[in-house]
Structure 1
Amino acid sequence: MILGTGSDLCNIERIQASLDRFGTRFEQRAFTEVEIAKAARRPHTKAGTLAKRFAAKEAFSKAVGTGFKAGVFMKDIGVVNAPSGAPTLALTGGAKARLDAITPEGHRAKVHLTLTDDHPWAFAMVIIEAVPIGKDD
């Protein structure tokens, strides 16, 4: 069963302007250490890398129905890669608590994430699925 969906379109140039204006203060406020390190390894596409992750955070906050309130913070939502290389989310704090709260008993939440960009736009979509515990993926 689908618990929630969310999408977000982020302007890469807006992220670049925030990097230019606020530098590491912006990065530290919005992104996890893993996300910052990945973007640093991509100096020519740093803003695009961060914009996709920013969009993913927004999309997740919409999928759980709270936006960035009710204890859900940007730094609690981190884009990571599964062993296959596919992007997924690592959740902590209020983001994990909110996901746990909307997941029905006897189920586990599975987060599906897709990211793409085509300058000047970055896009993310999140689908949260409830999977019965014990069911193979």
Structure 2
Amino acid sequence: MISCGIDLVEIRDIQRAYMRVGEALAQKVLGANELAIWQAINLPAKKISFLAKRFAAKEALLKAVKLGLQAGMSWKYIQVRSNERGDVVFDLTSDFYTCLLQAHSLPNYQAESKLNISLSLSDTSEYAVAQVVLEW
């Protein structure tokens, strides 16, 4: 089965949320590796953009797998990183796959199987967008 998901985030919405709750927002949305990168960013606008793109990517993936933050799912089960070629890719924990299997009846799908996922991220000063195409 092939599925896709897309998410568009207004940067100012992430900025407003960050101004309300501070670093707690990043700690809620980002996994450990993402959080370390985020904390090393010195420019406030770049920090917000980083956070917005990760948020959009995770939302797009959850839309593609037809699952929200339910069935025990957590933002921290999904991390985005750049691979050795510079492509953005997902690192998904075993807890992500457990939630996926619990939420869907997936015939012939094994927990150790990996989803074939393509991720594209882009942003402007106003928006961050993520698109996910996956085969499962």
Does TM, normalized by the shorter one, top 0.5? Answer: yes
Structure 2 spans left out of the alignment, 5+ residues: none
Counterpart for residue 77 of structure 1: 78
Shift of 1:73: 1.5
Counterpart for residue 69 of structure 2: 68
SS at match of 2:80: strand
- By percentage of residues, which structure has more strand? 1
Shift of 1:70: 2.0
What is the aligned length?
A: 129
- Scaled by the length of structure 2, the TM-score of the pair is 0.82
Query: Which of 120, 128, 132 matches 2:126?
Result: 120
Change (3 A) 1:99 1:114: farther
One-letter amino acid of the counterpart of residue 8, structure 1: D
d(CA) in 1 for partners of 2:121, 2:107: 24
One-letter amino acid of the counterpart of residue 25, structure 2: F
Over the aligned positions, Cα root-mean-square deviation in angstroms equals 2.1
Shift of 1:9: 0.3
Counterpart for residue 109 of structure 1: 115
Percent of aligned pairs with the same amino acid? 34
Q: Is the CA contact (8 Å cut-off) linking 1:72 and 1:93 kept in structure 2?
A: no
Of 102-111 and 115-124, the range deviating more from structure 2: 102-111
1:40 aligns with 2:46: no
d(CA) in 2 for partners of 1:60, 1:122: 15
d(CA) in 1 for partners of 2:100, 2:117: 10
Structure 1 spans left out of the alignment, 5+ residues: 131-137
Counterpart for residue 23 of structure 1: 22
One-letter amino acid of the counterpart of residue 60, structure 1: L
Counterpart for residue 50 of structure 1: 51
Shift of 1:108: 4.4
Q: Is the CA contact (8 Å cut-off) linking 1:70 and 1:94 kept in structure 2?
A: no
SS at match of 1:43: coil
Of 40-49 and 60-69, the range deviating more from structure 2: 40-49
- Scaled by the length of structure 1, the TM-score of the pair is 0.82
Provide, for residues 26-74 of structure 1, a one-character-per-residue CA deviation record: whole Å limited to 9, x for no partner: 1111111222222233332110111000000100110111111122221
